[in-house]
Amino acid sequence: MDSDNLIKVEQLSRWYGPLRAVDDISFEVRRGEVLGFLGPNGAGKSTTMQILSGNLAPSAGRVLITGKDILDEPEAAKAALGYLPEQPPLYRELTVDEYLGYCARLNRIPREQRRGAVDRAKERCGLTEVGRRLIGNLSKGYQQRTGIAQAIIHSPAVVILDEPTVGLDPIQIREIRALIRELGGEHSVILSTHILPEVQAVCDRVQIIHRGHLVFSDTIDSLTRQQTVSSLRAGFRNPPPAAELARLPGVLEVEELGAGLVRLRFDPERDITDALLGRAMEAGWRPYELTPEIKTLEQIFVDITSRDTGTPHAVAEPQAQGEAA
C-alpha cells in the first residue's frame, strides 16, 4: 500500500436483507487530506462511517487503515484511528480532564505520557480553560470539542468525524470548522455531513453518496467550477411575450415571474446577453434589470444525484449574484 494513502476502501458493501445501504464503493484518502463525505439523510453516510471505524462489519469488501485490514488486524488498524460518532461518546458526570484521562488509558497511552497527551488535546481543541468543568455543564459546542479531543488524543493518522456540527449555533460551527481544517494539516480526515457549505469550507476533496452508491468523487475546485451562470433574470418596463423571448438563439426556457420580470434559462455554452439587449433595443422593451444567476452548490448536488440515480428531484432555483444565500 502507498504510504501516503492512509485509508483504502475496496468494493465495500453492506446490506440488511434486500436493502443495500452501501453498494460496492471504493476510494482512498491521502495523508494530510480532508475528505468530505456528503449525501442526503439515509444515503449511507453513517453506515459507511461505522464500517470504516470498525463498529460495523461489511457484508463484502475491505477497509485498510495505514495498510492494516480492519477485520483481520483490528488492534493495529484501530490504533491508527480516531472516531467521533454523530452522538459523541461523552460521560456527562466527568470533568473534561477526567474524561480525557480515561480516553488516554483506553488508547493505551503509557502512564508517563498521559498528562501531556491530555494537555495537547485540550490545547488543540480549545479546552484548556474548561478542564475542571463537568462535561454535562458545557455548551453543545464545547461538548463537540471534547468529542473531537478524545478522537485525537492518541495522535492517530486517521480521524473520522460523523456530522460534527449538528445542533451547533453559527459561531460554534465556524469554530469547529476551523478546528477540522487545522486537523487536516497533521491527520487524514474524513468528514461526513449533509451540509454542502461545510464541505466547501473545510475539505480538499468531496465524495457524494446517494442510495448507497458513490455518484461523485473529485476536488472541491472541480465541484466549484460547476457553479456556472445558467440563467438570467431580466426586467422590462414594456415586457415582450414569452414566446418571442423563447425564439432568441440559445434560450432553452422562459419563466414569467410577474411585474415585467422573467427568468431565461439558456445553453451555458452560449452567451445570450448581446442578442437579448440588441432585440430589446430594437423592439422597445425598455430593459431595467439583467442579472446573471449562478447555479448554487445545492442545485449542483441535486443535479448530480438526479442524473446518477435516474430519479426526479425538485431543482433549487439559481441564486442571483448579490442575493443572500
Residue 97 lies in a domain: yes
Which amino acid appears at position 136 of this protein?
G
* 209-265 per-position pLDDT tens digit: 888 999 888 888 877 776 666 788 999 999 999 999 999 998 999 999 988 999 998
> What is the count of structural domains for the chain?
2
Residue 325 lies in a domain: no
Residue 243 lies in a domain: yes
98 and 157, same domain (yes or no): yes
Q: So what's the pLDDT on residue 27?
A: 93
**Contact in structure between 7 and 28 (CB atoms under 8 Å):** yes
Residue 182 lies in a domain: yes
Residue 10 sits at the vertex; the CA angle it makes with 5 and 16, to the nearest 5 degrees, is: 135
Residue 44 has pLDDT above 60, yes or no: yes
* 267-301 per-position pLDDT tens digit: 877 888 889 999 999 999 999 999 888 776 777 77
265 and 288, same domain (yes or no): yes
Q: Is 170 exposed, middle or buried (0-12, 13-18, 19+ CB in 10 A)?
A: exposed
| Cell numbers standing for residue 274 | 448581446
Q: Which domain holds residue 302?
A: 229-320
pLDDT class of 158 with cuts at 50, 70, 90: very high
Task: Describe the strand order of the beta sheet including 213-219 as a list of residue ranges.
Answer: 81-84, 158-162, 188-193, 34-38, 205-210, 213-219
- pTM, rounded to two decimals: 0.74
Residue 170 lies in a domain: yes
Residue 132 lies in a domain: yes
63 and 145, same domain (yes or no): yes
